[in-house]
Amino acid sequence: MSALSAAPDEPFGPPRRAAERKLAAVQRAAPDFELLFRSAPSLLLVLEPSAEFRILAASDAYLRAFRCQRESTIGRAFFDVFPEKLEGPRATGAGSLRAALERVLVSGSPDALNSPVFFADGRLGYIVHRLD
């Protein structure tokens, strides 16, 4: 019984008021994680855990920062979209980024910019690449 009513609580029954119905609908709805990921203010990529590090998903912020279109980025190898520049004033340090991604691939341990995501069976499923 609720402290405010003489009737027993109905935790799984229909809500009695419109506001309660709306709240119940919101609580039942699963979050749209793709929308949340895309809308995150962080610069995020989801990479396939393979030697090519194929781009599987990208936040809108990442695409804006690098002036990329989703259609021309998703499905491509990371270093094809963002080629390594090892020399000169515009050197990106991509060699060290490749090495960091490969360490995550081999060890399954996170580093400063790359976090592994595992499937329920323990296999490495994704690598989340984040820029500050």
- 57 has which bridge partners? 46
Q: In the chain, what is the greatest distance between 2 CA atoms, to the nearest angstrom?
A: 78
Q: Each residue of 60-99: pLDDT tens digit?
A: 999 999 999 999 999 999 999 998 776 655 555 556 899 9
Whole-number pLDDT of residue 1 = 44
Q: Each residue of 2-46: pLDDT tens digit?
A: 444 445 555 555 546 788 877 777 777 788 999 999 999 999 999
Regarding pTM above 0.85, the answer is: no
Residue corresponding to tokens 């119905």? 21
Residue corresponding to tokens 């989703």? 70
Whole-number pLDDT of residue 47 = 98
